[in-house]
Amino acid sequence: MEMCRSTALVLLLICVLGGPKAASQHQCDDGWISFQRKCYKFSIKPENFQKAMRICYSFGSRLLEVKSKSEEQWIDLHILLLGYSYGVWLGFSDIQKEGQFVALSDRKRPHYINWWKGEPNNVSGNEHCVMYVKRTGWNDEKCSLKLNYVCTK
Ligand SMILES: [Ca+2]
Ligand SMILES: [Ca+2]
């Protein structure tokens, strides 16, 4: 009898301790992929910067703002797997002040940057949106260009 009671207690503890722990593990909605405590959704179609930004907002998310080399390498792998032709939009822009790139989320300069050689070069005075070029690094581009993009939340 005593044996049964203590076994039941152990089972109860496993349920109580195991339950919340399992529930608190990071999970993403269907169609989103988990990496380092964030969820990512990769676009099917390329869009211009503004539309990509709006689509991400409509999902309750935002355009990817890469924050580390490891995150960028993980993104790069997906770009290759998905066969994106050029790269993806990043949520940084210098539209408000030429040459001062800030994040869309907090309007602060990003801590992590990875400009490709010779970038940003503001070609024709008309490159105010940032993209990650696959296998290389960041480039300022025309915001009207249609590119693949990644939403995060
Ligand atoms: Ca610019
Ligand atoms: Ca450029």
The pTM for the full model equals 0.83
Q: What is the pLDDT of residues 23-78, one digit of tens each?
A: 445 799 999 999 999 999 999 999 999 999 999 999 999 999 999 999 999 999 99
Q: What is residue 14's predicted lDDT score, i.e. its pLDDT?
A: 42
Q: How high is the pLDDT of residue 7?
A: 52
Q: How far is the CA of 38 from the centre of ligand 1 (A)?
A: 29
What is the structure's pLDDT at 19? 42
Q: What is residue 5's predicted lDDT score, i.e. its pLDDT?
A: 53
Q: Which two tokens stand for residue 2?
A: 């005593």
Residue 149 · residue 47 · CB < 8 Å: yes
pLDDT of residue 26: 72
Assess contact for 87 and 114: CB atoms under 8 A.
Answer: no
Per-residue pLDDT tens for 104-135? Answer: 999 999 999 999 999 999 999 999 999 999 99
Please report the pLDDT score of residue 11 as a whole number: 46
CA 139: distance to chain centroid?
Answer: 17
**What is the per-residue pLDDT for 6?**
54
Q: What separation in Å is there between the alpha carbon of 105 and the centre of ligand 2? A: 22
The shares of helix, strand and coil residues in the chain, as percent rounded to the nearest 5, are: 35, 25, 45
Residue 37 β-bridge partners: none
What is the C-alpha separation between 93 and 103, in angstroms, rounded? 7
Q: Which ligand is nearest to the CA of 94?
A: 1
Task: Decide: helix, strand or coil at residue 70.
Answer: helix
Give me the phi and psi of 41, to 5 degrees please.
-125, 120
Which class does domain 30-152 fall in? alpha beta
- Find the 112 Cα to ligand 2 centroid distance in Å: 18
Q: Residues 144, 147, 153, CA angle at the centre, nearest 5°?
A: 110
pLDDT average, residue stretch 88-116: 98
CA 76 / ligand 1 centre spacing (Å): 24
Question: Residue 20 pLDDT more than 90?
Answer: no
